[in-house]
């Protein structure tokens, strides 16, 4: 496994490996079983002749003022062994100065899908994500890229980025990996106190309750489903503070007036300083 931290070496790695299918997993490190599943999926897609590339980069552009950039967990040594154990060929782990010249003056701006859900409470976040993903796609020159469905809005925006800017990259979406009690795996779970950790699975339970009510009891009113989720959270996660709960169209991310097709119910809840997100498809 090659570990590379500068642009020049990525370019020469790419020259040497030209012709082999390249499957890319962008991450911010602090890797867990959810990332391992993405890397294993990438390995499958790449096959034995292809290459799996993982980037590890805590992207300052996607953190707002007062967010957790400084304290975002960093665990490079453990990350490298998780990557190796799951079949990574190359890791790109640059420093911020390597990717962002001090006098940089060009960034991406997404003006539609980033305005709601997480984007409403994290202005500029998805512009930062689009900027770094576009840069990484240019550098890694991948054929395929693998993203998790937990970050459902991010996935929708990256699909749009690929479409609107004509990146020749096939995107693959991988199911959320959960702890045994249902909590979606996230690098931010480690911020939770034991009391918060005990209540956090209520987020997934509430979304499942809404999905089951939709599926088994025929409830189609999005407002009723959202209320059900909020009520469940009030009862089972009193330490949580709801940021949003919303039933949206899976492609446009616009709130729906009826939950008939391709609807995702997405939610974000603060537990102390940690903001946890999760979602469920109505199907």
State the greatest distance between any 2 C-alpha atoms of the chain, in Å, as a whole number. Answer: 58
Stretch that binds ligand PAF, among 82-90, 111-119, 128-136, 228-236 (CB under 6 A): 128-136
Write down the least CB distance from residue 87 to ligand PAF, Å. Answer: 19
Distances, alpha carbon 197 to alpha carbons 4, 67, 190, 237, 238, in Å? 36, 20, 9, 10, 12
Residue 225 backbone dihedrals phi, psi, to 5 degrees = -65, -40
- Partners of residue 27 on adjacent β-strands: 56
Residue 116 binds ligand PAF, judged by CB under 6 A: no
Residue 151 binds ligand PAF, judged by CB under 6 A: yes
**Would you give the DSSP letter of residue 137?**
H
Residue 132 binds ligand PAF, judged by CB under 6 A: yes
Give residues 47-76 in contact with ligand PAF (rule: CB under 6 A).
59, 62
Asked whether 53 and 140 are in contact (CB, 8 A), the reply is yes
Write down the least CB distance from residue 194 to ligand PAF, Å. Answer: 26
Token reading at 11: 């370019």
Instruction: For ligand PAF, give the closer residue by CB, 24 or 214.
Output: 24
Which of 46, 133, 205, 282 touches ligand PAF (CB under 6 A)?
133
Neighbours of 4 (CB within 10 A): 19
Instruction: For ligand PAF, give the closer residue by CB, 28 or 203.
Output: 28
Residue with tokens 């979304």: 207
Give residues 24-43 in contact with ligand PAF (rule: CB under 6 A).
26-28
- Partners of residue 54 on adjacent β-strands: 25, 91
Instruction: For ligand PAF, give the closer residue by CB, 151 or 196.
Output: 151
Q: In what order do the strands lie in the sheet with 274-282?
A: 240-249, 263-271, 274-282
Residue 142 binds ligand PAF, judged by CB under 6 A: no
Indicate the angle between helix axes 76-85 and 33-46, nearest 10 degrees. 40
> Is 14 an active-site residue?
no
Write down the least CB distance from residue 198 to ligand PAF, Å. Answer: 26
Residue 129 binds ligand PAF, judged by CB under 6 A: yes
- Name the catalytic one among 14, 32, 35, 204: 35
Residue 177 binds ligand PAF, judged by CB under 6 A: no
Residues with active-site annotation: 35
Binding positions for ligand PAF, rule: CB under 6 A = 26-28, 59, 62, 129, 132-133, 151, 154
């Amino acid at each position: 496994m090659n570990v590379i931290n500068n642009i020049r070496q990525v370019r020469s790695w790419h020259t040497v490996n030209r012709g082999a299918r390249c499957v890319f997993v962008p991450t911010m490190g602090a890797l867990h079983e959810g990332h391992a599943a993405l890397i294993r999926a990438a390995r499958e897609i790449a096959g034995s002749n292809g290459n799996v590339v993982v980037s590890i980069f805590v992207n300052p552009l996607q953190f707002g003022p007062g967010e957790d950039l400084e304290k975002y967990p960093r665990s490079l040594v453990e990350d490298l062994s998780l990557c190796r154990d799951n079949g990574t060929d190359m890791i790109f782990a640059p420093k911020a100065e390597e990717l962002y010249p001090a006098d940089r003056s060009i960034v991406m701006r997404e003006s539609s899908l980033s305005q709601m859900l997480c984007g409403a409470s994290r202005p500029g976040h998805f512009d930062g994500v689009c900027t770094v993903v576009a840069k990484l796609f240019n550098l890694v020159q991948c054929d395929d890229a693998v993203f998790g469905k937990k970050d459902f809005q991010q996935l929708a925006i990256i699909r749009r980025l690929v479409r609107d800017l004509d990146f020749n990259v096939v995107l693959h979406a991988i199911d959320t990996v959960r702890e045994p009690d249902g909590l979606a795996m996230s690098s931010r779970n480690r911020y939770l106190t034991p009391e918060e950790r005990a209540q956090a699975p209520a987020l997934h339970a509430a979304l499942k309750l809404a999905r089951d009510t939709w599926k088994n009891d025929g409830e189609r009113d999005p407002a009723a489903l959202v209320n059900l989720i909020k009520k469940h959270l009030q009862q089972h996660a009193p330490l949580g503070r709801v940021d949003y709960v919303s039933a949206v169209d899976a492609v446009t991310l616009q709130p729906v007036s009826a939950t008939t097709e391709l609807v995702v119910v997405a939610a974000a809840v603060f537990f102390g300083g940690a903001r946890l997100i999760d979602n469920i498809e109505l199907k």
